Chains A and B, each alone.
Chain A
Amino acid sequence: MNATLLNPFTITHPTTIQTSLVSVASFARFDPSGKLLAAGRPDGSGVIWDLDTRATIRWCEGHVKGVTAIDWSRNSRYVLTASKDWNIIIWDLASPCDPPQRHTTIRFDAPVVAASFHPRNRYRSVVSRIVLALLSTGEAYIVDLRSSHRGRFELGGEDDGDEKRTIMTTVRFDPTGRHVFVGTSAGTIEVYNTRTKSLIARHRIVGAGVIKGIVFANGGRRLATNSSDRTIRQFTLPTYPTPPEQNTTYESNKCQIVETELEPTHRFNDPISKVAWHAISYSPDGEWLAGGAADPAAHKIYIWDISNDGQFASALDGGREPLLDVHWHPHAPRLASTTKDGNILIWHCPSPERWGAFAGGFEEADENAWYEEGEREFDLEDEAELALRKKLQEDEDVDIVGGIEDSTSTVPLNDVTPGDVDLEWADEEGELDRKDWRMKIITVEGEEVY
């Protein structure tokens, strides 16, 4: 609601630190509404911050070793935490207690280094029951919690034993959830179909080394990678074919693998100090890319202007505590960056105070302007005529209830074209994660202890 009254000419990337949250965290993730922030701590807790009050509201305590990944469900009701203690826990924030109730616990046989919800379910007002997990052994699994598809499927697990298996170093669903993108230690990106779990494409990225991170923009048409050669690359992705139903032969699944080299459209690096990057994050509109520099003595976030051919826009300086992680807000020019000391810095783009707003009917002008008097502006008018005109003006109908826009739904709900097997498959058996759930306010006595 406030957007229409704010100054529309502000720059759309964050510029200064708004606040610092003392959280002893190693990374932080905004929820889809942008009002909450989940911080993963090395001691195994996940902490939910309320950004309105800048205070912690829930402590998800269930892991005995460091939290490595956090993901939110579409309506922020469920939070997934992955940990080095081999577990993934899904928490239900609608439970009226602190710590919140566990919805599901998924146990693996190795530390979990990354995990996320299936984004498709996330966009469909249902909680995802499909979870993607990467273990420290370099294996990735899709865990399907739905009763008709229940199972744990290893990606690339059916590869022949003769060639040395590549270690998977990062996994991500693309924004539609049709595909899983896997970055490997051999500098390749493998694309799997989420439904069939079959490999459909393998892209070699020349000179990249180990792929450390993947982020998407533009509905999954654009991809950026962070790799061990200290370069961030941006690619435009091709369209991938939809594999046939799984009941066809194994051979036909196998022979459709697209093997191409992807040529980056842009490369981003620091030409002077050649820093590595700890984390990258796109702005929600994909027009900016933020890179968190792995500088051992400074907290620096580089921002590139993608809409302006990837020009370097600015370097945010967050002081002396080294940076661990950076994450862009889901719909505002805000960033959350985490320092090595565990503080989360919230960056924003302050709008200048408009003192003119304090006076009624006052407009601020940047420079002198000639006032052009209207033809009859200061004419004396008949009071009856004035009253009549006012009445006519007031006769116009007003709408006091309608038009409440849904600012959080980014993907239309009925976008499944019949026969789109990938999306239909993903939509089966959703569990309600309704928009109208409410987080109970739990009052806190005294000051909290960290």
Chain B
Amino acid sequence: MADTHTLSRSGIPQASSAEGLTPSSQTKPNYRAKYVLSGHTMAVSSLRFNPTGSLLASAAADKQIKIWDVYTGEIVKTFSGHREGVNDIAWSSDGEFLASASDDKTIILWNIELNAVAKTLHGHTNLVFCVNFNPRSNLLVSGGYDETVRVWDVARGRSMKVLPAHSDPVTAVGFSHDGTLIVSCAMDGLIRIWDADSGQCLKTLVDDDNPICSHVTFSPNSRYILAATQDSTIRLWNYQNSRCVKTYKGHTNRTYCLFACFSTTTGHHIVSGSEDCKVYIWDLQSRELLQVLEGHRDMVLAVATHPEHAVIASASTEKDPTIRLWVDDASKS
């Protein structure tokens, strides 16, 4: 819904259609730092653009959640309410709610419009590490250090299902685009796919070396799963036949749970942070490293890709708790 006036003022380009571009004819992305957003006082753990792409939400170990205007780089609001650091956040698909998972063992559902806590979800017996809405946003899925995956009724704020999912802390959870599948991954190195309705485990993916799994997410069409593991590798899995179809390497991921994202606005890219203070961008098909974004002065854990434009948000830890917005102006065509 963003009007073109705002776009031209901010200089954020319209997304050009990626269709018809073959990987070989694709030009390299050319992201440049646009804004440095400072406000958090401790490590930033998670970044998410809202569904229209006008706002960026950030969560940090300083117990705060901040909402930023993507086009001006200004801070819009700050939510504080968690008693411990916040690990992950997720927008509902209408952008009206933000869910935040915290070390205080709760998930808070924030009403963006009313600027208030809509629900506090109690149930996890240890810190909550990851959270996501289903496409209809009537359900919320969360995972945590109690090794369970929980499904919540958003409207009532009550627990619907507790899946004894893993044997180590759950590091990422997510729904497929149609809401019928849930994917989870954990420090036990397993990626599991669940039937959202029955809660049954349908599939387990495991790599030979069993590295700790940092992050997992469905591809936009939910045919593949992108998994980041702490052997400094990101893999794209075809979960139907349990085969790894792409491997992305070059970054450093040995200790922390880094996010890995798809970017489909200009060309198809894989974006990830790195423990060497950089952001890495690969080509989806050729697996070539296309661009490395430098600027952060500490490890980059959180990255997020804009839903419509060639914009990447990244954030780093303790020594440099800033968020950077990177814009690819060259892709304007």
Q: Say whether A238 faces chain B, with CB atoms less than 8 Å apart.
A: no
Task: Give Cα distance in the complex from A2 to B180, angstroms.
Answer: 6
Is A354 at the interface (CB under 8 A from chain B)?
yes
In contact, A6 and B195 (Cβ under 8 angstroms): yes
In the complex, A386 has a CB within 8 A of chain B: no
Bound Cα distance from A442 to B264, whole angstroms: 32
A39 contacts the other chain (CB 8 A):
no
Is B245 located at the chain interface by the 8 A CB criterion? yes
Check A397–B180 contact: CB distance below 8 A.
no
Closest to B219 in A: A400
Q: Which of A5, A50, A396, A402 contacts B193 (CB 8 A)?
A: A5
Q: Which of chain B's residues has its CB closest to A35's CB?
A: B136
A400 touches B221 (CB 8 A): yes
Contact string, B158-193, partner A, CB cutoff 8 A, digits 1/0? 001000000000000000111111000000001011
B140 to chain A, nearest CB (A): 10
Cα A4 to Cα B222 in complex, Å, equals 12
Q: Size of chain B's interface in residues, with CB distance under 8 A?
A: 62
- Rounded to whole angstroms, the CA-CA distance of A390 and B247 in the bound complex is 10
The verdict on A357 contacting B178 (CB below 8 Å), with A52-B138, A399-B223, A400-B223 known, is no
Q: A403 to B180, Cβ gap below 8 A?
A: no
Taking a contact as CB atoms under 8 Å apart, the answer to whether B93 and A2 are in contact is no
Chain A: interface residue count, which band?
35 or more
**Secondary structure dominating the interface of B:** loop
A358 within 8 A of B: yes
Q: How far is the CA of A441 from the CA of B136 in the complex (A)?
A: 9
Q: Are A442 and B202 closer than 8 Å at their CB atoms?
A: no
Is the beta-carbon distance between B204 and A1 smaller than 8 angstroms?
Answer: no
Known: A439-B136, A443-B119, A443-B155. A403 touches B285 (CB 8 A): no
Let me know if A402 and B96 touch, CB within 8 A: no
Task: Please name all residues of chain A whose beta carbon is closer than 8 Å to the beta carbon of B23 when the two chains form the complex.
Answer: 397
Our pick among A52, A398, A441 for the contact of B284 (Cβ within 8 Å) is: A398
Contacts of A402 in B (CB 8 A): 221
**Which residues of chain B are within 8 angstroms of A362 by Cβ–Cβ distance?**
204
Contact of A360 among B181, B205, B221, B285 (CB under 8 A): B205
Query: Could you say which of B96, B139, B195 contacts A2, with CB atoms under 8 Å apart?
Result: B195
Cβ contact within 8 Å between B119 and A357? no
* Chain B residues whose C-beta falls within 8 Å of the C-beta of A309 in the assembled complex: none
Closest A residue to B153 using CB positions: A53
B240, A401: Cβ atoms closer than 8 Å: no
Q: Does A219 have its Cβ within 8 Å of any Cβ on chain B?
A: no
Q: Are B245 and A55 in contact (CB under 8 A)?
A: no
Whether the pair A398, B200 counts as a contact (CB closer than 8 A) is: no
How far is B220's CA from A402's CA once the two chains are assembled, in angstroms?
Answer: 8
Q: Is B221 in contact with A404, judged by CB distance below 8 angstroms?
A: yes
A443 to B247, CA, bound (A): 42
- A438 CB–B CB distance under 8 Å: yes
Contact, CB under 8 Å: A394 / B287: yes
Contact A357–B204 (Cβ < 8 Å): yes
Q: A403 vs B178: C-alpha distance in the bound complex, in angstroms? A: 12
* A53 with B195: CB separation less than 8 A: no
Q: How far is the CA of A403 from the CA of B224 in the complex (A)?
A: 12
* CB-CB nearest in chain B for A332: B197
- B157 CB-CB contact with A under 8 Å: yes
Q: Is B319 an interface residue (CB 8 A)?
A: no
Contact status B156-A403, CB under 8 Å:
no
B155 touches A357 (CB 8 A): no
Of the residues B93, B177, B201, B242, contact of A358 by C-beta under 8 Å:
B201
| Cβ–Cβ contact B156 & A400, under 8 A | no
Chain B residues within 8 Å of A208, by CB? none
Interface residues of A in 35-60 (CB under 8 A from B): 35, 50, 52-55, 57
Chain A residues lying within 8 Å of B195, measured Cβ to Cβ, are 2, 5-6
Q: Mark A394-420, 1 if CB is under 8 A from B, else 0.
A: 111111111110010000000000000
Counting CB contacts under 8 A, is B268 at the interface?
Answer: yes
Q: Are A357 and B156 in contact (CB under 8 A)?
A: no
Verify B245–A394 contact, CB threshold 8 A: yes
Contacts A398-B245, A400-B223 given; indicate if A441 touches B200 (C-beta within 8 A): no
Contact A441 B224 (CB under 8 A): no
Residue A435, interface by CB 8 Å: no
Does B92 reach chain A (CB closer than 8 Å)? yes
Across chains A and B, which 3 residue pairs bring their CB atoms closest together, nearest first? A360-B206, A400-B219, A2-B180
- Further contacts, 20 of them, CB under 8 A, given A357-B200, A443-B111: A5-B202, A35-B136, A50-B155, A52-B134, A52-B139, A53-B138, A53-B156, A57-B155, A353-B201, A354-B201, A357-B202, A360-B205, A393-B245, A398-B236, A398-B245, A398-B246, A400-B262, A402-B221, A407-B178, A441-B94
Q: List 27 A-B contacts (CB under 8 A).
A: A1-B180, A1-B181, A3-B180, A5-B195, A5-B202, A6-B202, A53-B160, A55-B155, A354-B200, A358-B204, A360-B205, A361-B242, A362-B204, A393-B245, A394-B245, A398-B223, A398-B238, A398-B285, A400-B219, A401-B264, A404-B221, A438-B136, A439-B136, A441-B137, A442-B155, A443-B109, A443-B118
